[in-house]
Amino acid sequence: QVQLVESGGGLVQAGGSLRLSCAASGTTSSINAMAWYRQAPGQQRGLVARISTQGTTTYAESVKGRFTMSRDRGWNTVYLQMNSLKPEDTAVYFCNAVRFATYNSWGQGTQVTVSS
């Protein structure tokens, strides 16, 4: 299948920036889209950003204008550039890949904590 490994999380003060990376391996040629989700304690996992094979990006309203998702050709690595971070952005961020429009793969998650 597809293996996903996130990195780049950490502790940052409000207004700061972080760049998350997701390294994909396996059957990446069959990926239709990839996305970033996040989950805070006691809350449901929610979509942060999604990018299609054509490069079209979609963002949650709460992160529009602050976060930017991008990918390398061949789905080797996807990124989430997070600027102007807010305390409410604190969550575990998960990388997601969809193959054949139905099969989901998930990374282990990386913690992002925004102080102040």
Question: Residues 70-99: pLDDT tens digits?
Answer: 998 877 899 999 999 999 999 999 999 999
Query: Residue 97: which of 76, 114, 68, 81 has the closest Cα?
Result: 76
Which token pair is 80?
A: 């989430």
pLDDT at 97: 95
Contact 11, 25 (CB under 8 A): no
- Give the SS3 label for residue 15: coil
Q: Is it the case that residue 50 has pLDDT exceeding 80?
A: yes
Instruction: Write phi, then psi, for 96 (nearest 5 degrees).
Output: -135, 140
Q: Please name the residues in contact with 104: beta carbons below 8 A apart, sequence gap of 6 or more.
A: 96, 97, 98
Computed over every residue of the chain, the mean pLDDT equals 95
Helices within the chain (DSSP H only): none
